[in-house]
Amino acid sequence: MLTLSLAVRRTEAKARLLPSAFGQQKAMDSAVAFIVCGTLNPHEALPAALKRTLDAGIIDQAIHDSRSRHVPGQPAFQRDEAIRSGSLAAMTLMLAAKGQGLVSAPMIGFDQLAVAQAFGLSATEVPVMLVTVGYPGSANWPQKPRNAVNNVLQFV
């Protein structure tokens, strides 16, 4: 099954999220709180994705067939993949929100198991990050000073 992230918008759903997010009020106050998920079983969605790509004429039958033979990696790798994919999705959401004039907050302050239970996630779906999105609050801090590029990036 394809992994689904959730856009938590209804008050009832936000109230369900709140205790799993350790009572962080952002979960209630934001316009939407995304539960960004990654999957431990990405290979399950592969056949359908490959078929679409084949039908669109982007890949040929040989590439389709060779990629269809993809086998799942070790559990640690699969989990890394889920976190990587979810993190990319979370950052993309944040940039899209910024582009719409909104603000966002990535949150790892939540109980993964509790979130999974509260929203009926399957055992192969990993709630990677919460991302709250909305209009800026009047008490929000301004953007904090950033690291200089040379402090975080080494040119080699």
Residue ranges binding ligand FMN (CB under 6 A): 24, 105-109, 141, 143-144
Give the residue among 101, 135, 130, 138 at the shortest CA–CA distance from 13: 130
Residue whose pair of structure tokens reads 């759903």 in the numeric block: 13
Query: Least Å distance between CB 24 and ligand FMN?
Result: 6
* Nearest to ligand FMN of 54, 91 (CB atom): 91
Query: Least Å distance between CB 137 and ligand FMN?
Result: 12
Burial class (CB in 10 A: 0-12, 13-18, 19+), 79: middle
* Nearest to ligand FMN of 5, 24 (CB atom): 24
Residue 60's Cα: distance from chain center in Å? 31
Query: Least Å distance between CB 9 and ligand FMN?
Result: 19
